[in-house]
């Protein structure tokens, strides 16, 4: 099993979720996060004063799935979230040693399906 930790633009969340649903991916956790990478923020005017915004809004999706589906789902997310601009996001793939469903005690692939 693997975990996809995906950081995308908030404006792309709806499109990404539609594509994940079409692909049969239903187990997704979503968090609003702030951060910066190569985008480094921007300057905005607030009440006549320039203000540097360094932490940008992003949405984090956590998806645990079978290792065989990682490439397919990552490509799907990249296609749906892409704008060709700096700051489109990142996807990290992490190993998952075990998963348990609390209600039934199922573990492994049965717990995430």
Closest CA to 55 of 66, 41, 43, 44: 41
State the pLDDT at residue 19. Answer: 97
pLDDT tens-digit map of 34-74:
988 777 777 778 788 888 877 889 999 999 999 999 999 99
Domain count, the chain: 1
Question: What is the rounded average pLDDT of the residues 14-42?
Answer: 90
% of the chain exceeding 90 in pLDDT = 74
Q: What is the mean pLDDT of residues 22-44?
A: 87
Average pLDDT of every residue of the chain: 92
Helices (H), the chain: 13-22, 70-81, 109-112
The structure's pTM equals 0.86
Mean pLDDT of 14-24: 97
Q: What is the CATH number of the domain that holds 89?
A: 3.30.70.120
SS3 30: strand
Domain membership of residue 43 as a residue range: 2-112
**Residue 113 has what pLDDT?**
82
């Amino acid at each position: 099993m693997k975990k996809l930790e995906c950081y995308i633009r908030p404006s792309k969340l709806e499109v990404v979720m539609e594509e994940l649903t079409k692909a049969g991916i239903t187990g997704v956790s979503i968090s609003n996060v702030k951060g910066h990478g190569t985008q480094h923020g921007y300057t905005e005017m607030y009440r006549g004063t320039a203000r540097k915004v360094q932490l940008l809004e992003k949405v984090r999706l956590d998806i645990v799935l079978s290792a065989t589906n990682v490439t397919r789902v990552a490509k799907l997310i990249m296609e749906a979230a892409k704008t060709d601009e700096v700051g489109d996001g990142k996807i990290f793939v992490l190993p998952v040693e075990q998963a348990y469903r609390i209600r039934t005690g199922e573990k492994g692939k049965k717990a995430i399906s």
